[in-house]
Amino acid sequence: MLRAYIAAAILSGGASASSGVFISSLSYTNGSSGVNTTTSGILPCDALIEAGLGDRLLFATDPGYEPEVESWYSENSRQRPYCFVLPRNREEVATTLTTLVGVDNGAGDWHIAVRSGGHSSIGSNNIDNGVTIDLSLMNSSSYDPQTNIACIEPGGRWRDVYADLDKQGAVVTGGRDGDVGVGGFLIGGGNSFFSGRMGFGCDSVVNFEVVLANGTIVNANSTSNADLWKALKGGTSNFGIVTRYDMEALPARDLYYDLRYLSYNYSEAAIEAVAEFADQDQSLHDNALVTFFTYNASMSSEISIGEIYVNTQGHSNVTTSFDKVKNLPAMLNVSVSQSMAKAAAGSQVPGGTRDIGTTLTFYNDPRILRRCNELHEQFIETLKHSIDPTKFVTMVFFQPIPSYMGKVAEERGGNMLGFKNSVQHNAILWTFGVAIQPDQGDEAFAIARAELKALTAQVKEYARSVQGDIDFVYLNYADASQDPLGSYGADNIQHIRDVAAKYDPNEVFQKRIPGGFKISRVK
């Protein structure tokens, strides 16, 4: 459990092969009267029934509805739409989308949400007043050794994707937390153990199969709809629903995976190791380091340090700055050789907490890392006055982002993240997350959120004071109040805006599917 907690909590770099839900039959049972009818009285859901999708729906009166709600990771994302619709192929996605968009020409105060894995906690993939399209049943993965392409559906979880591909001798630049879904991870960027060599996950996508708002199914790649292909690499849910990701694969090899817990007394050594690791040259691109500081009142040391070091080629004897950490006494250490499938399967933790996260990027400067730790300590003490100290957990991540990531992206056709201009020196991707037990109530959640926003502003202010701030905000870790799309740079913002207007001229993904980060809200 300890290992799973460490590696999983907020690593989703921002989602089971099957949701296991009971799908209602075409005949809808009214919960109060028990009378069978072919209508529910809910206009958009009835339109889906009329379109032949009745057996793909879940209503609140169905036994599978609450388990479906609880399949979202964060308690604060467990919303209750009028009905869920779970399509099983691209044609059903197209029928679902066009049917919902056409209901009464969009009249009424209801909207549409789209879910891949449901790991985000910002309200981007579920809805109360409307219909949620859940892609969980579209979860297959296959590999073609002739083309070296893995074809992956959006509703898969990375633990299952890796397991499927591992049997065929392949792996892709995917998520580290096995519970994270494919779709949101890739169109938001996708930070991975393989990113040093391959760039972000989106940089390995050679083709997107996309259902547009008008029901048209298109492929987007370097030769067909190339503008959409590039826009989808970080441009998130502004254009259509991706129903398949074709990714360049790598040979499956066992990773060298080292996880260790250190006393907080060694925080300076950990910071030095992070800073040195971030400055390593591209020849060490097969090495990855994730460092985190965590508060957990149930542990022997309330604040402790976690280190995850991975060599994706399976080598345990590569000289890096992690050697400094390896020489320190560890409270816990697990060093193994294992597949990415096993690493992802072991990097999961049960959800159900109320989660808040935020992120910034700044230049690699140990002074900023130390300031982050000071603010983390203050944050913990502040929260202890408002929330039961045993009812919340914090995780602060430092992930090195080498400047050559922009070069890797350009070599692979470019993406929307804007590293070529914004990250011109080695940097640190900082992420702060808080998980609160639901029994602490709305007030505790609001207090934690307010304090986290204030802390983020303080980190930004300090980074600016030492000339270390960077505009880039990583979408998959961002809070709903942040503006990741607006941090991509003027050219990329305009590209996303132009592509959205071209492929979605009626602004369905801006107005009818409002969840997530929308280009129409970027100034």
CA 374 vs. chain centroid, Å, equals 27
How many C-beta neighbours within 10 Å does residue 134 have? 27
**CATH number for the segment(s) 18-30+38-134:** 3.30.465.10
Averaged pLDDT, 470-484: 96
According to the model, what pLDDT value does residue 32 have? 37
Domain ranges of the chain: 18-30+38-134, 141-251+487-507, 255-485
What percent of the chain stands above pLDDT 70? Answer: 93
- Confidence band (pLDDT; 50, 70, 90) for 79? very high
- Return the pLDDT at 298: 87
Report d(CA 306, CA 290) in Å as an integer.
Answer: 8
Burial class (CB in 10 A: 0-12, 13-18, 19+), 385: exposed
Average pLDDT value for residue range 244-256? 98
Return the percentage of the chain with pLDDT > 90, whole number: 87
Residue 304 tokens, joined: 């402790």
> What does the pLDDT look like over 292-302, one tens digit per residue?
999 999 887 79
Residues 349, 296 contacting (CB under 8 angstroms): no
May I ask the CATH architecture of the domain 141-251+487-507?
Answer: 2-Layer Sandwich (3.30)
pLDDT band of 270, cuts 50, 70, 90: very high
In this structure, what are the phi and psi dihedrals at residue 149, rounded to the nearest 5 degrees?
A: -115, 130
Which pLDDT score is estimated for 28?
A: 45
Is residue 161's pLDDT more than 50?
Answer: yes
Instruction: Check whether 489 has a pLDDT greater than 50.
Output: yes
Q: What average pLDDT does range 94-99 have in this prediction? A: 98
Average pLDDT score over residue span 356-360 = 97
Confidence of residue 349 (pLDDT cuts 50, 70, 90): confident
Helices assigned H by DSSP within 9-149: 43-48, 65-69, 90-102
Instruction: Report whether pLDDT(408) > 90.
Output: yes
- Give the pLDDT confidence score for residue 419 in this predicted structure: 87
What's the rounded Cα separation, in Å, for the pair 462 and 469?
Answer: 8
Residue 126, pLDDT score: 97
- In whole angstroms, give the CA distance from residue 292 to residue 395: 6
Report how far residue 157's alpha carbon sits from residue 270's, in angstroms, rounded to the nearest whole number.
31
Which is more confident, 441 or 1? 441
Q: What is the pLDDT of residue 2?
A: 34
pLDDT of 365 strictly over 90: yes
Q: What is the mean pLDDT of residues 83-100?
A: 98
Q: What would the pLDDT profile of 7-60 be if each residue is shown by its tens digit?
A: 333 333 343 333 444 444 444 444 433 434 578 999 999 999 999 999 999 999
- Phi-psi category of residue 424: left, alpha or beta, with phi > 0 → left and psi -120 to 50 → alpha: alpha
pLDDT at 20: 43
Mean pLDDT of the chain: 92
Residue corresponding to tokens 């809200």: 521
One fold for 18-30+38-134 and 255-485: no
Spell out the alpha helix ranges (H) of 17-149.
43-48, 65-69, 90-102
Contact 131, 100 (CB under 8 A): yes
pLDDT at 38: 72
Would you say domain 255-485 falls under CATH 3.20.20.70? no
Q: Is 506 helix (H, G, I), strand (E, B) or coil?
A: coil
Closest CA to 45 of 84, 8, 91, 74: 84
DSSP state of 497: H
Report how far residue 508's alpha carbon sits from residue 241's, in angstroms, rounded to the nearest whole number: 11
